[in-house]
Structure 1
Amino acid sequence: MSRILKTCAAVALGWLPALAWLVATPAQADISLQLEVVRHVKAQPGASGVPGDSQTTLDVTLGDKTMTVTSTDTTTVYDFAARKRWVIDRRTKTRVDYSLYDTVGFRTYELRNRNTLGAALSAAKVGDAVMVQVDNEHNLSVQDKPSAPLRVTTEGANELFHAGPKLMFRRGAHLLPAKPGEARMFAQLLRYALGGHPQILSALAQADSIPAQFSLVAYDAVGSITQTVVIRHVHSNPVPAFDASAFPVRPASESGHPVDQALDRAAALTPDELLSARRRSKDELETALREGRALDAFLGMFEWSLMTGEAPTPLTADQKQLFQTNDAVRRVTVALSAKSKDDLAKAITDLTDIAKSTATKAHVLRIFEANNRAMLGDRKAAQKLFIDVLKTNPYIAGVYKDLGDSLFVEYDTPRAWRCWDSGRKMAPGFANFQAINQFETSLAARHPEFF
């Protein structure tokens, strides 16, 4: 889980300083900031593997509904109206598309996980209080339910936020004038890139200024982590609206992860290719029915529905008879009804055996096997099977749904949402994605600050 958090944070560090020559869309008034971030860890006694101090320079452009940030290798463009972010490889000038829902989706579930673990550690009286609710909210910038208000004090001209005896945030006296929209987008920068308790970010978003210097202090099992930020080189400048089409999607050959390879192939598919694949699937189904190949036709019906979200053409009486009298079809039906651990294991064996009887649709049986393995808890094996299926037919929207579900359980939310978005792009009305649509609606309603 911490690995995923680090990945999300790394993706968030980017700026696109020279986009104007790539796009020619109307410009909007933006402000550019340069942030110098110094990170220091004060370790608790006995802590090991403590990282040394580090310093990072972030160049940031804040627009009305967009934010652009750049690291040495990547540029990340956030579009809060579209609820998307585009990560651009500055070397290859290719992009990967992500959903902003993957960030809030991960953090809400990780918050509950940390709160539960923290409560268990507290009950067991294991060491000092760690993973307490307010620290989890501060580190993840998300709140599930109201907690005790932070205490706000002053120290000279500085403003300080405390949780009990812990200092969480120190705002310096020097403030840069800002319009409400600019202050809100500055708070978004911290929310996505550096962290900060929701109460602190809310105060920053509602201010008429941006602090020229501030410190965020977080607490975990290692000790305290202080990020001291100094803002330099603030200026307004017109920046063209981002046009994702100026950057081709990343080729699958450049991906080192098998899930990424499958998703990069999906991102490159065209509407014409999807239409051709659907026609081909329909033709194969009709041919199998005409030739009396019951198993291929039965599996072809499933494939069609999983590709389109639609039911196949109603069967004739003779076609129904063809299925009802075929032993392989009967065995598939039994395998699909498995629920218990023993029945699921037997179904996997049976599906492997049945695959020997199909001429063209063994990959559909692997979908069933993958879901059975997932229900048995063997998600890695299930994911490998889903990926194998997509190599054979990359147009099966339902497989992207199932693969995304499996990744989400592992807290790999960036890839999970890429899967779900790929499937919904292929079959927007597919009922299987209704739960994801509702989940996103719920996230947006409960955490509008992320958008």
Structure 2
Amino acid sequence: MTLVPALRRASVAAIFFLGASAAQASVAFHVTVTTERILKPGVKTSLPARATQDSDVVLGEHYLSVRDGKSLTVLDFATRRRHLIDMAASTYDSYSLFDVAGFRRIEIAHRQGMAGALQAGGLQAHVTPPVYEEQALSVPAARRRNALAPHVLDGAVLWSLDGQPLLRLGIAGSPVSNDDATAFAQYLRYTWGGHPLVLKLLADGKRIPADFTLHYEEVGGKVARHFRISAMTVGAPATYSLAAYRPRPLAADAPPLESVLAQAASLPPLGPQAHLALRAEAERLFAADKPFEAFLTMLEDHFSTGELVDKLSPQQIRAMQECQPIHDLTRGLLAKDKEGIADALATVQELRRQTGMAQPVLALFEGNLRAKLGQWPEATALYLQVLQARPQMAAAYQDLGDALLAQFDAPNAWRSWDAGRAMAPSLRQFRKANDLERSLLNDYPAFFAEGTTLPPEGQPSTSRPANSTKTVGSTNLP
């Protein structure tokens, strides 16, 4: 297989939607992936023993695209965005690239925990070797010192780690630049996986192989994926455009999570008048001898606009100091042990009954306490209730994102954090999401081949997401 100087057989993705650029660069190719499964005795699955998938891939300067039928995925490393395009409907959904690495991190930890539970239960035979978990997710399970070991075959090299075969690499291939070889490894990382050492081997090889096989092992048996690269061309477009598509519209029967996140993506930050109005309401409540309600209103102001609760008169401070519900609430929110948190939950629920179940700050605090108890679906429902009533309460999007990530919904977790950070970027609650992104950049730099500089402290790291809960097509991992 050799490179030709023109798009002799350009991918449909390149022709149909990618904008031509004056500075043509990078490569495009067709890939056929044949998956073969060998199940352990007695294991049943709905997955076929053999399946084939064809894709057209473009490796651009700062992006890569993969088209499977009418579905087109674009990974933009300059903006750290992931676009899923429905070419038949001419619509797209947009996500953060951080959600992929974020999900892989919690999934590898989850699989390690499951392996420990199986071992403790005497079910060692059902434990997948860690090297294959790393192969599936492209993230390390632990610090590793040993290296890939080669075994020369007829016309290929079999690369193994800890005695487990990972990559059968054919001799034939096409020489490419360092950047294109790195982009090819990136394509595998985001679609089919590959052990970090395998992907580094391919990236350092300065070529795109004509054929190779990735080996996996699952609880149910062994999996081999055979890759065949064809129709490789140079001159792939250096840029892409979404101009021919529109964000996917919200369905009439969309669930509450989708409705909340879709609305949040289009809401502007609250202006100064919102703070003035909420503070005026707090002053009215103080004057009416309702310090607890005034306290909750000032918290709503802070959670929505980022303004601090300050400039209180001595009389207002004294009224708050003498307010028993404020003491009960703040003491409960500081609880650390399970029993104390359960007591705090009962306190907040009683305060909600006294103040009104629709009170948004108390509903938010009940969600936070349920989250501490691991009651994630109940916490999520409360956060959505708050945001349906107060869609610009920015801090609630941090809590909603935390709950979604705890339930392995990383794409919507980042949509929630991005929405909240766009509304109130300086709000201290978002330091947690910002710190998480910094740790992902530090721990998994290979996932972010381009644009690895974080924005200034407190600024949202990604552009605003379009509405979506669909993640089908974003990964082909086993």
2:170 corresponds to: 172
Query: What CA deviation, in whole Å up to 9, does each residue of 1:45-70 have, x standing for no partner?
Result: 22111521211111111112211122
The root-mean-square deviation of aligned C-alpha atoms, in Å, is 2.8
Other-structure match for 2:276: 282
SS at match of 2:281: helix
Mean alpha-carbon deviation: is it higher for 97-106 or for 235-244?
235-244
Name the counterpart of 2:234.
Answer: 236
Q: Matched residue of 1:364: which SS?
A: helix
- Whether 1:443 aligns to 2:440 is yes
Structure 2 distance, partners of 1:172, 1:225, is: 18
SS for the counterpart of 1:135 is helix
Which of 194, 197, 220 in structure 2 is aligned with 1:196?
Answer: 194
Compared CA separation, residues 72 and 395, structure 1 to 2 (3 A): farther
| 8 Å CA contact retained: 1:77, 1:86 | yes
The residue number in structure 2 matching 1:33 is 29
Report the 3-state secondary structure (helix = DSSP H, G, I; strand = E; otherwise coil) of the residue aligned with 2:205.
coil
Q: Which amino acid aligns with 2:422?
A: K
The reply to whether residue 306 of structure 1 matches residue 300 of structure 2 is no
2:75 match: secondary structure: strand
Given candidates 25, 45, 48, the residue that maps to 1:49 is 45
Superposition pairs of residues 58-69 of structure 1, within 5 angstroms? 58-69=55-66
CA distance in 2, matches of 1:164, 1:340: 42
Q: Which of 115, 119, 143 does residue 145 from structure 1 map onto?
A: 143
SS of structure 1 residue aligned to 2:265: helix
CA distance in 2, matches of 1:283, 1:106: 40
Contact (CA 8 Å) 2:20, 2:237: kept in 1 or not?
no
1:400-430 deviation per Cα after TM superposition (whole angstroms, max 9, x unaligned): 1111112222222222222222222222222
The answer on whether the counterparts of 2:14 and 2:236 sit within 8 Å (CA) in structure 1 is no
| Kept after mapping to 2: 8 A contact 1:26/1:241 | no
Q: How far apart are 1:149 and its partner, in Å? A: 1.5
2:72 corresponds to which residue? 75
Is 1:426 paired with 2:417? Answer: no
Could you tell me which amino acid in structure 2 is paired with residue 58 of structure 1?
Answer: S
Q: Which amino acid aligns with 1:221?
A: V
- The change in CA–CA distance for 1:382 and 1:241 in structure 2 (over 3 A counts) is same
Aligned to 1:9: none
Query: Which ranges of structure 2 fall in alignment gaps of 5 or more residues?
Result: 1-11, 449-478
1:386 corresponding residue in structure 2: 383
Distance 2:114 2:65 in 1: 35
Counterpart contact for 1:249–1:264, Cα < 8 Å: no
The letter for the 2-side match of 1:305 is H
Secondary structure of 2:147's aligned partner:
coil
2:59–2:236: 8 Å Cα contact kept in structure 1? no
Asked if residue 405 in structure 1 is aligned to residue 399 in structure 2, the reply is no
Distance change >3 Å, CA 365–CA 92, structure 1 → 2:
farther
Distance 1:96 1:27, change over 3 A: farther
- 1:22-421 matched pairs, under 5 angstroms: 28-49=24-45, 51-52=47-48, 53-119=50-116, 121-122=118-119, 125-128=122-125, 130-143=127-140, 144-239=142-237, 241-243=239-241, 247-253=245-251, 256-269=254-267, 271=268, 274-276=269-271, 279-291=273-285, 292=287, 293-355=290-352, 358=355, 362-421=359-418
What is the alpha-carbon distance in structure 1 between the residues aligned to residue 80 and residue 388 of structure 2? 29
Deviations 1:243-302 (A, max 9, x none): 557654444436844323321211122x3xx234x6235303313313524333211111
Relative to structure 1, is the Cα distance of residues 28 and 325 closer, same or farther in structure 2, using a 3 angstrom cutoff?
Answer: farther
Q: 1:246 to 1:286 in 2, by over 3 A?
A: farther
Amino acid at match of 1:220: E
Measure, in 1, the Cα distance between the counterparts of 2:322 and 2:246.
51
Q: Which amino acid aligns with 2:65?
A: T
Per the TM alignment, residue 74 of structure 1 is displaced from its structure 2 partner at its CA by: 3.3
Q: Work out the CA distance in 2 between the residues paired with 1:198 and 1:396.
A: 40
Kept in 1: contact 2:278–2:301 (CA 8 A): no
Which moves more between the two structures, 223-232 or 340-349?
A: 340-349
Describe the SS at the equivalent of 2:237.
Answer: strand
Distance 1:361 1:322, change over 3 A: farther
Aligned AA (1:289): E
Conserved 8 A contact 2:270-2:423 = no
Q: Partner amino acid for 2:36?
A: H
Deviation string 1:134-182 (CA, Å, 9 cap, x unpaired) is 1111111111412531211221331221235543211223212211111
- Aligned residues of 1:370 and 1:383 also touching (Cα < 8 A): yes
Q: Give the count of matched residue pairs.
A: 432
Q: CA deviation at 1:123?
A: 6.1
Deviates more, 1:211-220 or 1:68-77: 68-77
The residue type equivalent to 1:35 in the other structure is V
TM-score normalized by the length of structure 1: 0.86
How far is the alpha carbon of 1:41 from its aligned partner?
0.3
Q: Distance in 2 between matches of 1:121 and 1:156?
A: 39
Are the structure 2 counterparts of residues 241 and 347 from structure 1 closer, same or farther at C-alpha, using a change threshold of 3 Å?
A: same
Aligned partners of 1:412 and 1:202: how far apart in 2? 28
Q: What's the secondary structure of 2:84's corresponding residue? A: strand
Native 8 Å contact 1:16 1:70 kept in 2: no
Higher helix share: 1
- Measured in 2, the distance between the counterparts of 1:358 and 1:218 equals 56
Q: Distance in 2 between matches of 1:127 and 1:428?
A: 48
Please state whether the residue corresponding to 1:195 is helix, strand or coil. coil
Q: Where does the alignment leave 5 or more consecutive residues of structure 1 unmatched?
A: 1-13
Change in 2 beyond 3 A, CA 1:123/1:390: closer
Counterpart AA for 1:445:
N
Contact between 2:302 and 2:308, CA under 8 Å: does it hold in 1? Answer: yes
Q: 1:78 deviation in Å?
A: 0.8
